Amino acid sequence: MEDNNTPKRRTRSRQQSSTAPLISEYGHLQPQAPELEEAVLGALMVDSDAIGRLGNMLKPESFYDKRNQLLFGAIQEMDLEDRPIDILTVTEFLKLKGILEEVGGPMYIAQLTSKVVSSVNIEYHANIIAQKKLARDLIKFTSKTQEQAFDETQDVNELMQQAESELFEISRHNMKRDFTQINPVIKEAYQQIQTASKNTSGISGLSTGYHRLDKVLSGWQATDLIILAARPAMGKTAFALSLIRNMAVDQGIPVGMFSLEMGNVQLVQRLICNVCQIPGDKIRSGQLEGYEWGQLDSKITALEGAPLYIDDTPQLSVFELRSKARRMVHEYGVKMIFIDYLQLMTANTGKGSRQEEISTISRSLKGLAKELNIPIMALSQLNRNLEGREGVEGKRPQLSDLRESGAIEQDADIVMFVNRPEYFHIYKDGDFDWRGKAEIIIAKHRNGGLDNIPLIFRKEYARFMNLDDESLPPIPTDIPVMRGSKLNVASYEPMGNNTLPPLPDYLQDSTPTDIIPGPGGNEPLPF
């Protein structure tokens, strides 16, 4: 008899342990609401329309009792298959699945329905159940983090990033947003139209400082993720710094900058070069002429007190960035954030390919822009495909050139490219002279039109300007003109005296890659 009874006692013990309240290491019961769980399940079987009111508030794992998890999962499945839901149909469905006894049998199901009369309070009860589940998740998270923190073999920085990642996932999975009736949204949209109508410039967002760009985009819009992409040495960072100067220095708009590539001193040196209009090599070497020292002293004051906040943490994870960005917005009122550049960030997911990691990063940045209600610009690299293409049009970047992930294109509201034909020794395109100029290509604009916008680019100052900007001396035109052929091989049009003066600094590339023969074919001229 003992042998026959022993297995039954063990089975009974296992059943009790699976439903009995768990006690944490501190002696507390795990957060739970068993009566409310039973009330919700009973209401679902009393009122077949009640499950539609729950939406996605609850999942099977939201329930503490294992029996209730199985029962709610079965009801969800029945709803998905459009089956009627009541005490009899649920009992029959559980029987067909072979889990009726595991749930507690017909007696338990009947007991649930006897405890409720209507489903009038089901949403309130469901919210409490969801809160209890969140509390259990936090207890599990903190216990695990504490255990790892006591382990001296753990790298503390990695542990912090892992903890922030897991906490972010808990938060993301528990963020709920209900439906909004259209009337209050109409009111808000109408107010925005009224506000925009009072602005004679037609800019509804933050001004970029570039006339044609503002006309196409109506300024940078809140919640937008903007991708600014180009090949190395095209001027991505220079354009971002020009935008930052236009906003933070000229307009006093608080701006945040995450620089993963350059240190903060190096970044500010480039900004000084941009604002003070002093060549970068002189800023780095300190070999300034007398008038340039005066220029530096008079113009650098514009940078002092500018609402620009720089973080130069290398290998920044997207979870660290989210935390720091929230602080920038809440503590300093930052209105736009720049990231230089996306491919240097990490997601620290520990799984999947680099392409999947980039997808996670771009998706997180778009979510952050929506959460903080500000535009975010992330600089990005392009692959090498365009360098193998021929002609002026061939060298123009395309969306397919975005490096490592098509998800970047998918998540972005705006994708822009920096293009400098001059970099490829193409100085003429029809009647347009590309010397000292660049174009910003708007290749994707979720809420507006596309355009190619030419700007002045002064490489020695790392500065982009409007075509009608007269704050700098005009670019010399008494130099040989290079006309791009289909093979990107340029030919000279020498001046009348058949001599070729040296090219000015702004046409010199820091990384010359080509040697082009002179008119006589004897003396090669470097570019």
Active-site annotation, residues: 261
The 10 Å Cβ neighbour count of residue 253 is 20
Q: Are 509 and 423 in contact (CB under 8 A)?
A: yes
Nearest to 256 by CA among 316, 335, 192: 335
Token pair listed for 122? 């089901």
E strands, 208-319, are 225-230, 255-259, 308-311
Rounded Cα–Cα distance for residues 480 and 88 (Å): 90
In whole angstroms, how large is the CA radius of gyration of the chain?
32
How far is residue 429's CA from residue 502's CA, in Å, rounded to a whole number? 22
Residues 366 and 363: their CA atoms lie apart, in Å, by 5
Residues 509-526 as b/e (b if ≥16 CB within 10 A, e otherwise) read beeeeeeeeeeeeeeeee
Q: Which residues contact 487 (CB under 8 A, 6 or more apart)?
A: 390
Q: CB–CB of 69/141 below 8 Å?
A: no
| Dist. CA 292–CA 304, nearest whole Å | 18
Nearest to 429 by CA among 455, 392, 456: 392
Rounded-to-integer distance, Cα 215 and Cα 207, Å: 10
